[in-house]
Amino acid sequence: MEKKEETLQKKLKAAGEKMEEADRIKKSQIDMLEKISQFSVEQAKEYLLKNLDDELVHEKAVKISSYEAQIKEECESKARQYISLAIARCSADQVSEAAVSVVPLPNDEMKGRIIGREGRNIRTIETLTGVDLIIDDTPEAITLSCFDQVRREVARIALEKLIQDGRIHPTRIEETVDKARREVEYKIKQEGERAVLETNVHGLNHELVKLIGRLRFRTSYRQNVLDHSIEVAHLAGMMASELGVDANLARRAGLLHDIGKALSYEIEGSHVQIGVDVCKKYKESPDVIHAIEAHHGDVETRTVVAALVQAADAISAARPAARSENYENYIKRLQKLEEICTSYDGVDKSFAIQAGREVRIMIAPEKVNDENMVLVAREIAKRIEDEMDYPGQIKVHLIRESRAVEYAK
Q: What is the pLDDT of residues 212-247, one digit of tens each?
A: 998 888 877 777 888 889 989 999 998 888 888 888
pLDDT in tens, 124-177: 888 888 787 888 777 788 888 877 788 888 888 999 888 888 888 888 888 999
Which of 318, 336, 371 corresponds to the end of one domain? Answer: 318
pLDDT in tens, 58-76: 888 888 888 888 887 777 7
Which of 271, 296, 318 corresponds to the end of one domain? Answer: 318
**Are 183 and 248 contained in the same domain?**
no
Is residue 120 situated within a structural domain? yes
pLDDT in tens, 168-180: 888 888 899 999 9
**Are 279 and 307 contained in the same domain?**
yes
pTM: 0.59
Q: Return the HEC string of the chain.
A: CHHHHHHHHHHHHHHHHHHHHHHHHHHHHHHHHHHHHCCCHHHHHHHHHHHHHHHHHHHHHHHHHHHHHHHHHHHHHHHHHHHHHHHHHCCCCCCECCCEEEEECCCCHHHHHHHCHHHHHHHHHHHHHCCEEECCCCCCEEEEECCCHHHHHHHHHHHHHHHHHCCCCHHHHHHHHHHHHHHHHHHHHHHHHHHHHHHCCCCCCHHHHHHHHHHHHCEECCEEHHHHHHHHHHHHHHHHHHHCCCHHHHHHHHHHCCHHHHCCCCCCCCHHHHHHHHHHHCCCCHHHHHHHHHCCCCCCCCCHHHHHHHHHHHHHHHCCCCCCCCHHHHHHHHHHHHHHHHCCCCEEEEEEEHHHCEEEEEECCCCCCHHHHHHHHHHHHHHHHHHCCCCCCCEEEEEECCCCCCCCC
Instruction: Evaluate if residue 327 carries a pLDDT over 50.
Output: no
**Are 262 and 341 contained in the same domain?**
no
Q: Comparing 88-92, 93-97, 231-235, 387-391, which segment has the lowest mean pLDDT? A: 93-97
**Are 265 and 229 contained in the same domain?**
yes
Say what the pLDDT of residue 95 is.
53
**Are 185 and 115 contained in the same domain?**
yes
Number of separate domains in the chain: 3
**Are 240 and 271 contained in the same domain?**
yes
Is residue 257 situated within a structural domain? yes
Is residue 73 situated within a structural domain? no
Is residue 135 situated within a structural domain? yes
Which of 318, 346, 362 corresponds to the end of one domain? Answer: 318
Question: Residue 308 belongs to a domain with what CATH number?
Answer: 1.10.3210.10
Instruction: Evaluate if residue 113 carries a pLDDT over 80.
Output: yes
| Structural domain boundaries, residue 388 | 327-400
